[in-house]
């Protein structure tokens, strides 16, 4: 798009992460402009902020999801896609090239039951998130988060039909010790992903995912 680029990182840090400050330092090694975290607990938030605020001074949080930005966050709010949970947000960032809507989401997990995999809860979240994107007034959009499904899963079609998944590289993010699938994603509208990659493992059971976006 001809302007300066943005580097974004998303990471499910794991609520039981024993080293939130070390995890935050590992994420800053990618030189990000935006960092989205999922499973941020009240107890761990000060440790994340003590590191991330130094490089990314603008911050938004709701429930267990949070966003840090190099550029001003002009507004933020809880995004209600699942009334029983508080783990998605929408923020507006004054980024290079104009305003940017940033969504951070942690969708419901797939559960194993006696009859197979239970996906109905996650699929309802996807449908609700797609509806929110339909109402988004800004041209440029980034969705970051743990979507608990692969980019080529047909269940993700409501999102992939509205946004473009960042692809490229090996890129598997879960489980961290031996990644077999990417369930942590960067999807965009009005920006193009020129590169995407995973960062080295942290104490989480997910690996961080990074992408370079044209702004």
Of 40 and 2, the structure prediction assigns the larger pLDDT to 40
* pLDDT > 50? residue 2: no
Q: Is the pTM of this model over 0.85?
A: yes
Give residue 4's pLDDT.
64
Q: Per-residue pLDDT tens for 153-180? A: 888 999 999 999 998 766 799 999 999 9
Which tokens is 59 given? 């911050």
Measured distance between the N- and C-terminal CA atoms of the chain, rounded to whole angstroms: 6
Q: What CATH class has 5-214?
A: alpha beta
Computed over its alpha carbons, how large is the radius of gyration of the chain? 16
Query: In residues, how long is the chain?
Result: 215
Least confident among 44-53, 67-76, 105-114: 105-114
Domain map (residue ranges) of the chain: 5-214
Q: Is 108 exposed, middle or buried (0-12, 13-18, 19+ CB in 10 A)?
A: buried
As a whole number, the mean pLDDT across the chain is 92
Q: Are 9 and 209 in contact (CB under 8 A)?
A: yes
């Amino acid at each position: 798009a001809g302007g300066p680029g943005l580097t974004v990182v998303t990471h499910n840090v794991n609520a039981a992460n024993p080293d939130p400050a070390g995890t935050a330092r590992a994420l800053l090694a990618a030189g990000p402009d935006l960092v989205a975290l999922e499973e941020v607990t009240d107890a761990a938030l000060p440790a994340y902020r003590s590191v991330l605020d130094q490089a990314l001074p603008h911050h938004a949080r709701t429930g267990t999801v949070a966003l840090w930005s190099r550029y001003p966050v002009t507004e933020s709010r809880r995004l209600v896609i699942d009334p029983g949970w508080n783990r998605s947000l929408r923020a507006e960032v004054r980024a290079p090239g104009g305003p940017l809507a940033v969504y951070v989401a942690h969708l419901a997990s797939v559960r194993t039951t006696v009859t197979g995999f239970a996906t109905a809860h996650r699929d309802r979240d996807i449908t609700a998130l797609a509806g929110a994107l339909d109402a988004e007034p800004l041209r440029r959009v980034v969705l970051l988060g743990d979507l608990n499904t692969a980019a080529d899963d047909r269940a993700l079609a409501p999102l992939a039909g509205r946004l473009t998944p960042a692809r490229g590289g090996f890129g598997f993010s879960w489980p961290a010790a031996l990644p077999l699938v990417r369930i942590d994603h960067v999807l965009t509208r009005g920006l193009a992903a020129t590169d995407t990659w995973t960062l080295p493992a942290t104490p989480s059971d997910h690996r961080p995912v990074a992408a370079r976006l044209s702004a």
